[in-house]
Amino acid sequence: MDHVVSGVAKFQREVFPDKADSFRELATGQQPEVLFITCADSRIDPNLITQTEPGELFICRNAGNVVPPHSNQTGGMTASIEYAVAVLGVEHIIVCGHTDCGAMKGALNPQSLESLPHVREWLGHCRAAVEVVREQRGELGAEHLDCVTMENIALQMQHLRTHPTVAAKLAAGKVTLHGWLYNIGTGEVLRYDAESRAMVPLSEVDLPSGRSQGGSRAQA
C-alpha cells in the first residue's frame, strides 16, 4: 500500500502540474468518444493499452468483461451503458477481453465456483460462449481457454445489441461496436471480424474515423 500512497504524492507533485490545463477543462464535464468495457483483472490498463488521456475513455470493468442482456432489472452495467450512449454520446463501444482470464477459467469449470455463488451466477452470462465452443470442440479443458475467451467477446457484443439505447444508435449508424482481445504476454491486440467470426490482428488501417469493415457502423 505504501507505493500506492507514494504514487498519489508523485502524481500531485510531478504529473498533475504538466496537465493542469487539461484537468481544469475536465473538472466541469466529459466528452469521451469511447465506452471501453473490459475485465477487472489488475493486469489490464485501458489507458496504457490505448495510450489515451483522462477524459477519452468511459471505462466499465467487471469480472469477465460481461454485458448482461438487457432486462427490467437495473444493474450497474446496464445503467452505465445507457448513460454512456444516451447522455455522453459515445460513438464507439469496445468489449475487450484478455488472455489468461480467471473469469473464463471459472466459466469453463463452474464446479470450481461452489464456494463463490455470486461469481458463479455472474458468469452465467458467459454460458453461451462455453456451449458454442463445446459444440465445436467436444469435451472442454484448459486448452480451450482462448477459444472461450474469444467467443465470450462476440457473445457480449450480442448482448450489447439488446440494450435499447445501443440498438437505437446502431440503427441510426451513430455507434460502432468493436471486439478486442488483449494478449498480456505479448502486448498484441486482436479484433473480432464479424464476417469470418474470428480474431484478426488490429492495425491502424482499421481505425480511421472508426469505420472499419468497409465503413460499417454495426460491428467491427
39 annotated as ligand-binding: yes
Which of the residues 39, 60, 96, 126 is marked catalytic? 39
Taking the alpha carbons at both ends of the chain, their separation in whole angstroms is 40
Phi-psi region of 187 (alpha: psi -120 to 50; beta: other; left: phi over 0): left
CB 123 within 8 A of CB 156: no
d(CA 68, CA 155): 10
Is 147 annotated to bind a ligand? Reply is no
According to DSSP, residue 13 is labeled I
Is 18 flagged in the annotation as binding?
no
Contact (CB, 8 A) for 180 and 171 = no
- The Cβ-side half-sphere exposure at 203, using a 13 Å CA radius, reads 4
- Whether 101 is catalytic is yes
Residue 211 known to be catalytic? no
Q: Which listed residue (70, 92, 98, 144) is catalytic?
A: 98
Beta bridge partners of 179: 95
Phi/psi class of residue 109: alpha, beta or left (left: φ > 0; alpha: ψ in -120 to 50)?
beta
206 is catalytic: no
- The answer to whether residue 60 is catalytic is no
Beta bridge partners of 38: 61, 96
- Does the annotation mark 41 as catalytic? yes
Beta strand 198-201 with 176-182: parallel, antiparallel or unpaired?
unpaired
Q: Is 206 annotated as a binding residue?
A: no
Maximum Cα interatomic distance, the chain, rounded to a whole number of Å: 57
**Catalytic residue selected from 60, 96, 101, 147:** 101
- Binding-site residues from annotation for Zn(2+): 39, 41, 98, 101
Catalytic positions? 39, 41, 43, 98, 101
Residue stretches of the annotated binding site: 39, 41, 98, 101
